[in-house]
Amino acid sequence: MPDSPAAATSDAALDAAAHRRLGVDLFNATWSLLEMADRSAEQTDALIHTAHASRHHWALAEGSGPENLARGEWLCSRVYAVLGRAEPALWHARRCIEICESNGIGDWDIAAGYEALARAQLVASDRAAAREWAARARAAAGAIAETDDREVRAEPRRPRPRLREGAQPTLSQHR
């Protein structure tokens, strides 16, 4: 279990395996909400809360590492970008990149972080910065070990990834 301020406030009734299961389930619930064409205000609230809750539970999950935390930050950034909320999208994209860089995480995760920052910059109407980060994302994607995971896009798409227990999502799933 990673050392985290979230660990100090966790529900003692949940063990690390339960936190992992919740992290996975909430990740998938977030994507189901992202796919909705028209969300009510309550569904938008649920979208935001499920993304943050998934990230929280991954911080306490069995076998979780900094890559899981970076992916959680990426997910939060994606949610806020889809909702058109630039400031939190930028914050979470930068946190994703910071976690990757401070832990020597490359491959899919750093490319996804750069992609998230490109997306967030588009929402913030900074096209020049968006182009710069999209170029970084494409360059990082070229270094991804798995060929199928190399496609990086900064333009919004409707994703349909599902996270399975023990599986790593691929960048091509998260467009």
- CA torsion sign, 169 to 170 to 172 to 175? positive
The answer to whether residue 7 is domain-embedded is no
Dist CA 169 CA 24 (whole Å): 11
The answer to whether residue 143 is domain-embedded is yes
The answer to whether residue 93 is domain-embedded is yes
Number of folded domains that form the chain: 1
The answer to whether residue 6 is domain-embedded is no
The answer to whether residue 80 is domain-embedded is yes
Tell me, yes or no, if the pTM score tops 0.75: yes
Other Cβ atoms less than 10 A from the Cβ of 38: the count is 5
pLDDT in tens, the chain (175 residues): 455 555 555 456 799 999 999 999 999 999 999 999 999 999 999 999 999 999 999 999 999 999 999 999 999 999 999 999 999 999 999 999 999 999 999 988 999 999 999 999 999 999 999 999 999 999 998 888 776 665 654 443 434 444 444 444 433 333 3
The answer to whether residue 36 is domain-embedded is yes
CB 47, CB 23: distance < 8 Å: no
**Helical spans, DSSP H, in 60-126:** 66-82, 86-102, 107-123
User: Which CATH number belongs to the domain containing residue 139 in this structure?
Assistant: 1.25.40.10
The answer to whether residue 5 is domain-embedded is no
Dist CA 94 CA 81 (whole Å): 13
**Owning domain of residue 33:** 15-154+165-173
